[in-house]
Amino acid sequence: MIGNTTEKERTIFDHAGNTIKTEDREIRIIAKYEEPLVVVLGNVLSDEECDELINHSREQLQRSKIGQDHAVNQIRTSSGVFCEENETVTRIEKRFSQIMNIPVENSDGLQILLYTPGQEYQPHYDFFAETSRASTNNRISTLVMYLNDVEDGGETTFPMLNLSIFPSKGMAVYFEYFYSNHELNDLTLHAGTPVIKGEKWVATMWMRRQVFRFS
Ligand SMILES: O=C(O)CCC(=O)C(=O)O
Ligand SMILES: [Fe+2]
């Protein structure tokens, strides 16, 4: 842009072209918002992998609801569970880490969320406030993976970017907030809007700055 000498910051996601070749799958780059970087990805998981994650988690969700504190959280009304490791989960986590260009050991693990009609995730940041203890090894990037087609509602929105992503089975949205310019990080405010009809299943992978777990 004429008169604009500000250089673009480096990003973690450094894939060129329209595809990302991971060890076991070719991912398609569908759309990009440049700064902060938001990337819509296609062909990330097969239908079978999506179904397997849903079926596996449905049981876990049912079990984890019993005995859990029933504190109502108005910010996130969905129910969620971290995936137990199995062959599929390990393969998927490895693929996500190759897409995100961060070692799998830096991740929080794969979290599955289920939203039923009316449930939502209000605008929030995925990184922790500087004042919180968790920020010493803060999150730096997110991949939200859509595991099913939602009949109506449930878009992932970035209100400060005027951007909405409609859930579509097998697709994902990636974004990062590792910028030295904090204003760019602040623009990654995002939400899961209320589901109107049907269920919405997502798998979220958050990456940390440093190793977070040993797997
Ligand atoms: O459900 C969505 O669309 C967004 C999920 C999300 O923001 C998260 O898991 O951190
Ligand atoms: Fe989020």
pLDDT digits (tens, 9 = 90+) for 40-85: 999 999 999 999 999 999 988 876 665 455 566 778 888 889 998 9
Q: 215 pLDDT exceeds 70?
A: no
pLDDT tens string 7-16? 889 999 999 9
Near ion ligand 2, which residues have CB within 5 Å? Answer: 126
Using an 8 Å Cβ cutoff, are 123 and 191 in contact? yes
Rounded mean pLDDT, 142-153: 98
Mean pLDDT of the chain: 92
Torsion sign, CA atoms 186, 19, 165, 112 = negative
Q: Which amino acid is at 161?
A: L
| Ligand having the closest approach to the CA of 201 | 1
Residue ID of nearest Cα to ligand 1 atom 4: 192
- pLDDT digits over 171-194, tens only? 999 999 999 999 999 999 999 999
Rounded alpha-carbon distances, angstroms, from residue 127 to 141, 166, 170, 205: 8, 23, 25, 13
Q: Is 161 exposed, middle or buried (0-12, 13-18, 19+ CB in 10 A)?
A: middle
- Which residue's C-alpha comes closest to atom 2 of ligand 1? 192
What confidence tier does 2 reach under pLDDT thresholds 50, 70, 90? low
Centre of ligand 1 to C-alpha 200, Å, is: 11
| Atom 10 (ligand 1) nearest CA | 126
Quick one: pLDDT at residue 59?
Answer: 83
Identify the structural domains of the chain with CATH numbers, from first to last: 20-66+73-208 (2.60.120.620)
